[in-house]
Amino acid sequence: MFRGANLLNIDAKGRMAMPTKHREVLLVQSSGDIVITAHPHGCLLIYPQMAWEPIQSKIMAFSSFDKKSSALQRLLVGYAEDIALDTAGRLLLSQVLREFASIDKQAMLVGQGSHFELWDREAWNQQMQNATQQDASSMPIELEGFSL
Amino acid sequence: MFRGANLLNIDAKGRMAMPTKHREVLLVQSSGDIVITAHPHGCLLIYPQMAWEPIQSKIMAFSSFDKKSSALQRLLVGYAEDIALDTAGRLLLSQVLREFASIDKQAMLVGQGSHFELWDREAWNQQMQNATQQDASSMPIELEGFSL
DNA sequence: TGTCATTAGTGGAAAAAAGTGGTTTTTTGT
DNA sequence: ACAAAAAACCACTTTTTTCCACTAATGACA
């Protein structure tokens, strides 16, 4: 599925060209219909529309009285927008979403299997700097014994 | 499997010639399909495509809300690119990956059994300088009682 | 030990594909 | 019906990919 990182330019209208290798998959899987939403870590999430639906269902099944889960519902479902690729394979990022993720001129599109993450260029570099400075002792339990 | 270190030149387009002795293995094992990604220690990882898949599955099974494990997912899967050897047995390193590992003109390709690591020449020398200055007292527990 | 032959490494040109930006057309809301 | 905004369209530029040719290195054999 989706993997790999691409540095992309965003034009004055807020349009961003999807790398061609991913376009076909998106067109086949959900006829170019995309859902974009906000991620709690400060980036955007990009799903093929069909893959998003079951996730949204799960999220909305959480209790809406619990503060944590309703906050998550507001973020993930509240920000979610339906967008389609234009004829040139670009997608239009709304003002609101761009502001949420502080995305301006350049963004890093990062494949994560079933979906993508979209990061402001600077925020991504920051993120990666942290990740490469971690040492194994601070790794979570589930990574115990994991090796490449 | 893969072992040995080779100093390789990278041309202006970012192409790198695989040492011939490794080409056959890569061709037989995964018809020349390679996955290349980022390693938290600042080098690149090169796997035969088939050998990479099960590793990616394990990584993506971690929780995506935990900061530490999602950082690892972003690094390892986010940077992973599918690449094939060209007709001359070279592989093309993308701008993004070269920048991650600060690889410019020369790189050290290091066999690690199932896979390779690719280091910027300078970073590799640095790395080795540290390794030769370590003394046994700072070794991790699992190396207790280990001798060559 | 020198010459020849084969194979590996390197560089670049031509062709194809992708990215970009602006103009026109359509839609939407007033 | 008109104005503003958004979407579609189209043409140009840049990048990427593929292919081919040349040079260097290695090894075999006389």
H helical segments located in B42-120: 49-60, 67-76, 95-100
Counting the structural domains of chain B, the total is 1
Q: Is A116 a domain residue?
A: yes
State how far the Cα of A106 lies from the Cα of B94, in Å rounded to an integer: 17
pLDDT in tens, chain A (148 residues): 999 999 999 999 999 999 999 998 998 888 889 999 999 999 999 999 999 999 999 999 988 788 888 999 999 999 999 999 998 999 999 999 999 999 989 999 999 999 999 999 999 999 999 998 876 656 665 666 677 7
Q: Is B17 a domain residue?
A: yes
Whether residue B108 contacts residue B5, with contact meaning beta carbons closer than 8 Å, is answered with: yes
Whether residue A97 contacts residue A80, with contact meaning beta carbons closer than 8 Å, is answered with: no
Length of chain A, in residues: 148
Q: Is A102 a domain residue?
A: yes
pTM score > 0.85 for this model? Answer: yes
Q: Which two tokens stand for residue B123?
A: 């970073």
> Which of A4, A40, A127 lies nearest to residue B71, judging by beta carbons?
A127
Is B106 at the interface with chain A, CB within 8 A?
no
Q: Is A141 a domain residue?
A: no
Q: Is A46 a domain residue?
A: yes
Q: Is B141 a domain residue?
A: no
Q: What is the CATH number of the domain that holds A90?
A: 3.40.1550.20
Domain of residue B72, residue span:
5-134
Whether residue A117 and residue B74 make contact (CB cut-off 8 A), yes or no, is yes
Whether residue B131 contacts residue B20, with contact meaning beta carbons closer than 8 Å, is answered with: no
State how far the Cα of A18 lies from the Cα of B113, in Å rounded to an integer: 36
Q: Which of B44, B77, B81, B115 to mutate to test the interface with A (most CBs of A within 10 A)?
A: B77
State the nearest Cα–Cα gap between B121 and chain A, in angstroms. 19
Q: Is B108 a domain residue?
A: yes
Q: Is A148 a domain residue?
A: no
Whether residue B80 and residue A4 make contact (CB cut-off 8 A), yes or no, is yes
For B39-88, write each residue's pLDDT tens digit. 999 999 999 999 999 999 999 998 888 888 899 999 999 999 999 999 99
